[in-house]
Structure 1
Amino acid sequence: MTDDTMAFLSLIQKSDDGDFLKSVPEAALQRIMDYDVENLIGAAPHERTPDRQTYGYHLVRVQARTPGEPLGFEAARPALEQDWSKARGEAARKQQDEALRSRYSVSIDQAALERLVKANPQ
């Protein structure tokens, strides 16, 4: 049996108190909400994402959703200019890094590295 089937059977077995009809939609809504959150943050439960905050995740209760309004160009212009400027700066930095790297040759003395590692075990 699949995990979903097992979870459903477990739900039926636990529903001796007469709230079975209430517990089925609650379980379905919980699964939908879990799926939405997983897609929103890009990680399954107990997984970490690169953008995780220093203090971990925060539990937020969403009580209502209001559809957003599309921004006009003038309203979005400052954010667009900032994104464009940031992208140009990153591209220039990357180009400068490549130019610097092309000037140098890097080699590693394996014997010296091994001696250093043995002298400073962690």
Structure 2
Amino acid sequence: LILILFIYTQFLLGFITLSDTCHGESFGNCLAHYVKGSIFFWFGLVAFIRYLGFFEKFGWNWNLLQISSLDNFNDEKNQKGKISFSLLESIIIFSYGISNTFLEHTGKDPWNHRDIQHATLAFMW
């Protein structure tokens, strides 16, 4: 998994270098959009894989119901340390909103309506 993330990062950095973008004043805005695009790409990929039935051992698959766990569903020892996919989705969306809020405006220029609009949308997201 780490190797896949490194390959993706290298591909992204190579594309940025090849296209000669993200220089100077636009660095924060460019970084915010690459973070946003990367989060949506990986989140969509994980959601698609989840819909195929993977992540069964975590209880994240949507198409199978574990009958054996229904008897002890409220048992605290069975739920301790488990992260639901809904919690993971919330953490991903929260981290996206926080990072995008602070990357949209780097503080060199005064706030304009575009900066406020982008930061507000990221915060609400």
Provide the TM-score with structure 2 as the length reference. Answer: 0.27
Which structure has more helix as a fraction of its residues? 2
Compare CA radii of gyration and give the structure with the larger one. Answer: 1
Provide the TM-score with structure 1 as the length reference. Answer: 0.28
**Which structure is higher in RCO with an 8 Å CA cutoff and minimum separation 6?**
2
